[in-house]
Amino acid sequence: MSVTAMQEPVAGSRFAATLLPVMVVVFVAFLVIGIAMPVLPLHVHDGLGLGTFVVGLVAGSQFGASLVARPWAGHLSDSRGVKRGVVIGLLAASASGLVYLLSLGFTEAPLISVAILLLGRGLLGGAESFIITAAVSWGLALADTSSTGKVIAWVGSAMFAAFAIGAPAGSALYAAYGFAAIAVVTTAAPLLTLLLVAQLPAIAPVRQARLSFAKVIGAVWMPGFGAALGSVGFGAVTTFVAILFAHRGWADGWLAYTAYAVAFILARVFFSHVADAVGGAKVALVCAVIEAVGQALIWLAVRPEMALAGAALTGFGFSLVYPGFGVEAVRRVPAQSRGLAMGAYTAFLDFAQGLASPALGLLATGARLNVVFLASALTVLCAALVAWWLIAHPETVEGSPQ
């Protein structure tokens, strides 16, 4: 198929088939993040003997690096092509696995080991930024303009399907072979994914003047702020739920990750079209409330079943919070700046996660661990207020670049 043909918008029954290769790339690439989710806190806290603040710092460092990389990822996707952005991301992800392996050579000096681990997390954060920004831009280039929310939702579903499978796989690998197995898979999986990417035709970037990053930030900051607040529930689950299960003596903490991811995927399978149909802000408002209820359930949980239900509600809610605010963000910029818009929009999530994970970890050192989820629930409710504001103050679509 020619490059030109690949650039024609796709609608109807061809949508899923056309988007499938992009989703496969995202799925395989994000396995390397999913397998580390339930075990990285345990490796740092139990294996290296470091506190919850350091756990939050290590988890948040990935999002901090992603934040720094977003403008580069968006500019490169818009100007040099989305395929190149994916390739750079996969190479950086593989390099992060090698740094993980290096950190294991210094486990007798935990501070040195965690410093090297932070470097690996930084590389992985930059990789994630390039992969997801380029992949969403790729999907938007293949679909018609009325399917923005569906593209964001479906590509994100591939990402969280990887989390759902990666969580139990990572737990099993860690239990059998230790953190070294996580490092090896992190190195190998992105290289294997490159074989698939090499077979896909490139899409030429749109040759038109583009908005500056500052102008894009000005256009998308309010939806981005809402998404940032809504993402705190996601960060609380991925960083602290495994430790909560361990502290309570509950088995199979990885089930919380799977419950979150399965609910996330089901919401997107059945409701991914709703944001395009009724408005992104309305969907974000309802689903932020659902996510906050899920966080409150984990806070109040006295049995693992309550925590699992809370994780599932959190996943269901955030599943549609992200594309809901995403629809509001993308419609504010012209087509030739969509990659930069997605980079800027997602940067707000990175900023929130980079701050929230260490902040929640610091809170956990001075209080019962479950208080983390109360703080997260209150933060997510603020995302609902942002959605309400967007409904009350609709903006016009961003005009031509200047």
Phi-psi group of 351: left, alpha or beta (phi > 0 → left; psi -120 to 50 → alpha; rest → beta) = alpha
Query: Between residues 191 and 364, which one has the greater pLDDT?
Result: 191
Provide the mean pLDDT of the chain.
80
- pLDDT, tens digit, for every residue of 294-318? 999 999 988 888 999 999 999 999 8
User: With 70 as the cut, is the pLDDT of residue 43 above it?
Assistant: yes
Confidence of residue 286 (pLDDT cuts 50, 70, 90): very high
- pLDDT, tens digit, for every residue of 47-65? 888 887 888 788 777 777 7
C-alpha dihedral (307, 310, 316, 321), degrees to nearest 10: -120
User: Which pLDDT belongs to residue 185?
Assistant: 92
Name 10's bridge partners: 143
User: With 70 as the cut, is the pLDDT of residue 131 above it?
Assistant: yes
Cα-based distances in Å from 120 to 58, 126, 133, 223: 10, 10, 20, 30
User: Which pLDDT belongs to residue 7?
Assistant: 43
The class level of CATH for 13-198+212-392 reads mainly alpha
- pLDDT, tens digit, for every residue of 64-121? 777 777 777 777 777 777 888 888 999 999 999 999 999 998 988 889 998 999 999 8
Residues contacting residue 303 through CB under 8 Å, at least 6 positions apart? none
Confidence of residue 366 (pLDDT cuts 50, 70, 90): low
User: With 70 as the cut, is the pLDDT of residue 6 above it?
Assistant: no
User: Which pLDDT belongs to residue 134?
Assistant: 83
Buried b (16+ CB within 10 A) or exposed e, 22-38: bbebbbbbbbbbbbbbb
User: Which pLDDT belongs to residue 314?
Assistant: 93
User: With 60 as the cut, is the pLDDT of residue 148 above it?
Assistant: yes
